[in-house]
């Protein structure tokens, strides 16, 4: 019993100790009427929640938030980005009494705006961080800077690659995929300036067959570390493991998929939304728009795989510290794109929290072999 | 004495109801295995699908696009074709709506909406009509061609929204330009369900009348029943087959229009969510009858609406809903073999 408890505790602490701590703190306060009021949080997923990917990263958060005091979580998976999601939200609000709706897919945005107007007493969160002045105040947009953990994955890849060639599989030609890829390459080149990265955009969020084919073809081209920015990188990681090369995870913890070749992975920490839930429950304040990387605890990396030696682990953790204290800057000059155009000149620095620059990124940095497909 | 039509109607009602009840019994056993009280599940199925105003609106919202996509399979099926291209027809309908819609900004909303509807229907109609023509003139199997054309349509959509008609201001999702806000249609008065429902119901009703009470409908039934007979009767088979394909495709194309003008305002991969494939299921459950399509779509809409509540209340995986739908499908198909065999439901010979 106590062993079980301590395991759960340890896991909880590792993944989001601060939230649980916050919850515990609140529970220790003299019980005010408002603090004791239980709240129902509804999670809506666009796909299956056990996908070793995007949806699972939110499910992980749901599990942590469900552990908070006075919080009950209800979940629904496979909700398409159509009129259906509005009805699911309404059903959660009216039949389950949900007061917070965490809608975890980009395409839910319009529905969120509509429902937020209709239900001003319900808090809606969206993971796109595209809230702007004039949107309902009971909506929060938040999102982590995933290029930071990709940079750390890149360091692992740069150190572990023997061929000097790594691979990046992207889904859609979107700014954050470009940023992730750039982070990965910049990380790798920070430890091995000669490394190149073959980049393939599959065009689909979820196309396992294509992902497997792409992984195989990258391996055939000599890449020996891959990362896949798709809904679930399960297929890519398993293919890499079978072919005996290294892989990094994306979205959620994929370490169990590749016991031999897994290095680390870029993960979201959506559980940071626990603060919003607590604020909403107790009438506290909350931001309508929040972006952040390691500094704001909105992203994390997966547990290291056994293949990663201690000195590399230390190097990665040092870099992580660099993101936290701003001593490490992702985009800084001199920087060229992979077509030779100058992006930043010597001395130019883009703040790690410069969202405007990052949203406008439509290039791959030097070292990328491949094109964005955008003209 | 009752007439033959009465017995036919009774037969359909009795057999369908029996299939539905058997499905519920089977599903009850299934959830019992997972430690859930089946009667709780039945109650939640009712509550989530039909029990409250919200539930009914949820059900109808889910049913709306399915009515239209079901027609894409049902109408050609009456002429003896197995078309499974609803998904693709919906997608091209949605694309056409956006392509036309963004150029209409000067028009009065009512006119613009009609034009977009026509564009969607026309695109879907031509898409499936082409498959019909390929079959009649080139002997290409329509099932295979429409299936493959789904992939082509989706690929065209992805191509367009990731480049040529992409709205780069929408940073999170590759989406097309949006149509003007004034062209967006709202909800049906008195019901929080978008206009796609009314369009679906009316289209099904019109096609029911056409297929049941016109010479064209009668001719199509002859063709579907026996092509040789139709040939001997001198019916213009090629034209009829292609027209049926066009009508069906137009239905699915219209579903694409409604997704754009009632839900999204733009085209994106949110058009590709399986409405077309669900429509095939509904067409078969409804035995290709447009009137029955309305009811079956509402029934399946109710199942998926309550499926959400089932997940939330019992923490059952979403696939549970698919199990229920699958059981229903198998039961209904199996029960089809009973038609004409239950003696007490047959009209007495005159």
The verdict on whether omega for the bond into residue B68 sits within 30 degrees of 0, i.e. cis, is no
For every residue of B162-202, DSSP letters joined together read HTTTB-TT--SS-BBPPPPGGG---B-TTSSSBTHHHHHHH
Q: Please compute the mean of the pLDDT values over residues B34-39 and round it to a whole number.
A: 88
The answer to whether residue A58 scores a pLDDT higher than 50 is yes
Long-range own/partner contacts, residues A329-333 (CB < 8 A, 24 or more apart): A330/A147, A330/A148, A330/A151, A330/A182, A330/A183, A330/A186, A331/A182, A331/A186, A331/A357, A331/A358
How far apart CA A21 and CA B245 sit, in angstroms, is 62
Say if residues B119 and B96 touch (Cβ distance below 8 Å): yes
Burial grade of B147 (CB within 10 A; 0-12, 13-18, 19 or more): middle
Q: What pLDDT, on a 0 to 100 scale, did the predictor assign at position A20?
A: 43
Please give the mean pLDDT across all residues of chain B: 90
Residue A17: pLDDT band by 50, 70, 90 thresholds? very low
Upper half-sphere CA count for residue A234 (Cβ side, 13 Å): 14
Residue B163 to residue A84, Cβ atoms within 8 A:
no
pLDDT tens readout for residues B227-244: 889 989 889 999 999 999
Chain A residue with minimal CA distance to B48?
A91
Same structural domain for residues A122 and A222? no
Q: What pLDDT, on a 0 to 100 scale, did the predictor assign at position A245?
A: 96
The answer to whether residue A24 scores a pLDDT higher than 50 is no
Same structural domain for residues A35 and A129? yes
Residue A360 makes CB contacts below 8 A (sequence gap 6+) with A175
* Contact with chain B for residue A353, Cβ under 8 A: no
Residue A96 to residue B312, Cβ atoms within 8 A:
yes
The answer to whether residue B189 scores a pLDDT higher than 50 is yes
Q: What pLDDT, on a 0 to 100 scale, did the predictor assign at position B325?
A: 87
The answer to whether residue B130 scores a pLDDT higher than 90 is yes
Same structural domain for residues A290 and A312? no
Q: What pLDDT, on a 0 to 100 scale, did the predictor assign at position B109?
A: 87
Query: Final residue of a domain: which of A299, A321, A351?
Result: A299
Q: What pLDDT, on a 0 to 100 scale, did the predictor assign at position A30?
A: 42
Q: What pLDDT, on a 0 to 100 scale, did the predictor assign at position B1?
A: 53
| Closest residue by Cα to residue B274 from B181, B150, B183, B168 | B150
Say if residues A131 and A288 touch (Cβ distance below 8 Å): yes
The answer to whether residue A364 scores a pLDDT higher than 60 is yes
Best residue in B66, B94, B172 to probe A by mutation, most A CBs within 10 Å? B172
Lowest mean pLDDT among A92-106, A142-156, B146-160, B319-333: B319-333
Q: What pLDDT, on a 0 to 100 scale, did the predictor assign at position B346?
A: 74
Who among A83, A95, A96 is closest to B52 (CB)? A95
> Terminus-to-terminus CA distance in chain A, angstroms?
60
For every residue of A301-347, DSSP letters joined together read EPPPPTTS-HHHHHHHHHHHHHHHTT-S-SSBSSEEBTTS-EEE-TT
Token reading at B60: 């109808």
The answer to whether residue A166 scores a pLDDT higher than 70 is yes
Q: Indicate whether A190 belongs to any domain.
A: yes
Please give the mean pLDDT across all residues of chain A: 89
Same structural domain for residues A186 and A228? yes
Residue B318: pLDDT band by 50, 70, 90 thresholds? confident
| Closest residue by Cα to residue A143 from A203, A59, A71, A57 | A57
Scan for tokens 């213009």, then name that residue: B236
Residue B311 to residue A82, Cβ atoms within 8 A:
no
* Count of structural domains within chain A: 2
Q: Indicate whether A375 belongs to any domain.
A: no
The answer to whether residue A13 scores a pLDDT higher than 50 is no
Residue B10: pLDDT band by 50, 70, 90 thresholds? confident
* Contact with chain B for residue A117, Cβ under 8 A: no
Q: What pLDDT, on a 0 to 100 scale, did the predictor assign at position A375?
A: 62
| Closest residue by Cα to residue B120 from B238, B282, B293, B267 | B267
Residue B147 makes CB contacts below 8 A (sequence gap 6+) with B84, B85
Q: Please compute the mean of the pLDDT values over residues A66-88 and round it to a whole number.
A: 91
CATH number of the domain that residue A281 is part of: 3.40.50.2300
The answer to whether residue B133 scores a pLDDT higher than 60 is yes
Contacts of B308 in chain A (CB under 8 A): 76, 79, 88, 91
Q: What pLDDT, on a 0 to 100 scale, did the predictor assign at position B167?
A: 85
pLDDT tens readout for residues A227-265: 999 999 999 999 999 999 999 999 999 999 999 999 999
Who among B62, B269, B311 is closest to A77 (CB)? B311
Residue B162 to residue A88, Cβ atoms within 8 A:
no
Q: Please compute the mean of the pLDDT values over residues B208-235 and round it to a whole number.
A: 91
Contacts of A91 in chain B (CB under 8 A): 48, 54-55, 58, 305, 308-309
Say if residues B305 and B45 touch (Cβ distance below 8 Å): no
The answer to whether residue B5 scores a pLDDT higher than 70 is yes
Same structural domain for residues A281 and A251? no
Q: Please compute the mean of the pLDDT values over residues B23-48 and round it to a whole number.
A: 91
CA distance A159 to chain B (A): 32
Say if residues A47 and A77 touch (Cβ distance below 8 Å): yes
Q: Please compute the mean of the pLDDT values over residues A358-372 and round it to a whole number.
A: 93
Same structural domain for residues A17 and A124? yes
pTM: 0.82
Q: Give this complex's ipTM.
A: 0.79
* Contact with chain B for residue A106, Cβ under 8 A: yes
Residue B180: pLDDT band by 50, 70, 90 thresholds? confident
Q: What pLDDT, on a 0 to 100 scale, did the predictor assign at position A7?
A: 43
Residue B175: pLDDT band by 50, 70, 90 thresholds? confident
Same structural domain for residues A43 and A112? yes
The answer to whether residue B155 scores a pLDDT higher than 90 is yes
Q: Indicate whether A374 belongs to any domain.
A: no
Q: Please compute the mean of the pLDDT values over residues B122-139 and round it to a whole number.
A: 96
CA distance B197 to chain A (A): 12
Q: What percent of chain A has pLDDT over 90?
A: 79
Q: What percent of chain B has pLDDT over 90?
A: 56
Residue B53 makes CB contacts below 8 A (sequence gap 6+) with none
The answer to whether residue B295 scores a pLDDT higher than 80 is yes
Same structural domain for residues A42 and A129? yes
Number of residues assigned to chain B: 350
Residue A61 lies in domain: 2-145+269-299
Q: What pLDDT, on a 0 to 100 scale, did the predictor assign at position B348?
A: 65
pLDDT tens readout for residues A330-354: 999 899 999 999 999 999 999 999 9
Same structural domain for residues A331 and A237? yes
How far apart CA A174 and CA A357 sit, in angstroms, is 14
The answer to whether residue B4 scores a pLDDT higher than 80 is no
Same structural domain for residues A221 and A365? yes
Q: Indicate whether A124 belongs to any domain.
A: yes
Q: What pLDDT, on a 0 to 100 scale, did the predictor assign at position A6?
A: 42
pLDDT tens readout for residues B49-107: 899 898 999 999 999 999 999 999 999 999 999 999 999 999 999 999 999 999 988 88
Contacts of B272 in chain A (CB under 8 A): none
Residue B173: pLDDT band by 50, 70, 90 thresholds? confident
Q: Is A89 helix (H, G, I), strand (E, B) or coil?
A: helix
Say if residues A197 and A167 touch (Cβ distance below 8 Å): yes
How far apart CA A347 and CA A335 sit, in angstroms, is 10
Q: Between these two residues, A161 and B36, which has the higher pLDDT value?
A: A161
Who among A83, A91, A128 is closest to B172 (CB)? A128
Same structural domain for residues A10 and A151? no
Residue B305 to residue A373, Cβ atoms within 8 A:
no
The bridge status of strand A262-268 relative to strand A299-301 is: antiparallel
Q: What pLDDT, on a 0 to 100 scale, did the predictor assign at position A36?
A: 61
Q: Domains in chain B, start-ordered, CATH in brackets?
A: 37-315 (1.10.3470)
The bridge status of strand A100-103 relative to strand A39-44 is: parallel
Residue A120 makes CB contacts below 8 A (sequence gap 6+) with A136, A138
Same structural domain for residues A118 and A239? no
* Contact with chain A for residue B333, Cβ under 8 A: no
Who among A42, A107, A374 is closest to B270 (CB)? A107
Scan for tokens 């309550």, then name that residue: B306
Lowest mean pLDDT among A209-213, A367-371, B172-176: B172-176
CB atoms near residue A359 (< 10 Å): 17
Q: Between these two residues, B349 and B121, which has the higher pLDDT value?
A: B121
* Contact with chain A for residue B167, Cβ under 8 A: no
Torsion of CA A188, A191, A195, A200, to 10 degrees: 0
């Amino acid at each position: 019993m106590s062993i079980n408890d301590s395991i759960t505790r340890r896991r909880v602490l590792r993944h989001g100790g601060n939230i649980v701590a916050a919850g515990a703190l609140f529970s220790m306060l003299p019980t005010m009427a408002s603090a004791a009021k239980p709240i129902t949080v509804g999670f809506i997923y666009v796909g299956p929640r056990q996908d070793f990917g995007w949806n699972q990263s939110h499910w992980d958060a749901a599990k942590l938030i469900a552990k908070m005091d006075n919080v009950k979580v209800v979940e629904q998976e496979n909700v398409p980005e159509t009129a259906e999601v509005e009805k699911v939200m309404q059903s959660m609000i009216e039949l389950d009494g949900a007061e917070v709706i965490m809608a975890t897919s980009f395409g839910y945005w319009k529905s969120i705006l509509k429902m937020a107007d209709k239900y001003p007493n319900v808090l809606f969160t969206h993971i796109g961080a595209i809230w702007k002045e004039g949107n309902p105040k009971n909506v929060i947009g938040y999102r982590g800077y995933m290029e930071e953990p990709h940079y750390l994955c890149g360091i692992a890849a740069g150190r572990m690659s023997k061929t000097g060639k790594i691979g990046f599989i992207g889904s859609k030609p979107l700014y954050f995929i470009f940023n992730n890829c750039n982070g990965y390459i910049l990380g790798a080149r920070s430890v091995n300036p000669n490394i190149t990265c073959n980049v393939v955009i599959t065009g689909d969020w979820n196309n396992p067959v294509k992902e497997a084919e792409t992984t195989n073809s990258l391996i055939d081209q000599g890449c020996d570390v891959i990362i896949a920015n798709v809904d679930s990188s399960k297929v890519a990681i398993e293919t890499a493991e079978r072919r005996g090369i290294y892989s990094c995870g994306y979205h959620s913890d994929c370490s169990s998929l590749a016991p031999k070749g897994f290095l680390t992975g870029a993960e979201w920490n959506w559980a940071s939304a626990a603060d919003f839930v607590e604020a909403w429950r107790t009438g506290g304040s909350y931001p309508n728009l929040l972006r952040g990387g390691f500094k704001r605890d909105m992203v994390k990396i997966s547990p290291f795989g056994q293949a990663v030696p201690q000195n590399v682990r230390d190097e990665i953790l040092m870099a992580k510290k660099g993101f936290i204290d701003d001593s490490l800057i992702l985009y800084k000059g001199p920087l060229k794109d992979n077509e030779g155009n100058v992006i930043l000149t010597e001395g130019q620095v883009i703040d790690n929290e410069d969202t405007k620059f990052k949203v406008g990124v439509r290039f791959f940095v030097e070292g990328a072999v491949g094109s964005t497909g955008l003209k | 004495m009752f007439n033959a039509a009465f017995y036919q109607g009774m037969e359909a009602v009795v057999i369908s109801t029996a299939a539905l009840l058997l499905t519920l019994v089977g599903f009850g056993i299934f959830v019992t295995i997972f430690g859930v009280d089946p009667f709780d599940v039945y109650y939640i199925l009712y509550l989530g699908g039909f029990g409250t105003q919200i539930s009914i609106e949820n059900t109808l919202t889910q049913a709306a696009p399915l009515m239209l996509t079901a027609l894409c399979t049902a109408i050609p099926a009456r002429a003896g074709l197995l078309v499974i291209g609803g998904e693709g027809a919906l997608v091209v309908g949605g694309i056409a709506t956006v392509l036309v819609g963004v150029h209409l900004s000067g028009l009065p909303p009512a006119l613009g909406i009609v034009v977009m509807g026509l564009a969607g229907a026309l695109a879907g109609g031509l898409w499936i009509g082409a498959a019909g023509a390929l079959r009649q003139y080139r002997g290409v199997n329509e099932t295979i061609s429409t299936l493959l054309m789904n992939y082509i349509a989706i690929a065209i959509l992805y191509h367009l929204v990731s480049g040529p008609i992409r709205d780069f201001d929408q940073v999170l999702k590759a989406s097309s330009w949006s149509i003007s806000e004034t062209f967006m249609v709202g909800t049906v008065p008195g019901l929080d369900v978008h206009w796609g429902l009314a369009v679906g119901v009316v289209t099904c009703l019109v096609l029911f009348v056409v297929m049941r009470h016109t010479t064209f409908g009668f001719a199509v039934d002859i063709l579907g029943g026996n092509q040789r007979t139709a040939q001997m009767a001198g019916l213009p088979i090629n034209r009829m087959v292609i027209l049926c394909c066009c009508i069906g495709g137009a239905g699915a194309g219209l579903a694409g229009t409604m997704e754009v003008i009632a839900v999204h305002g733009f085209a994106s991969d949110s058009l590709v969510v399986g409405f077309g494939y669900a429509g095939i299921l509904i067409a078969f459950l409804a035995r290709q009858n447009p009137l029955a399509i309305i009811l079956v779509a509402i029934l399946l809409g109710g199942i998926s609406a309550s499926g959400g509540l089932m997940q939330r209340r019992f923490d059952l995986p979403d696939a549970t809903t698919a199990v229920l739908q699958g059981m229903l499908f198998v039961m209904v198909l199996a029960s089809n073999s009973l038609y004409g065999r239950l003696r007490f439901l047959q009209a007495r010979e005159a």
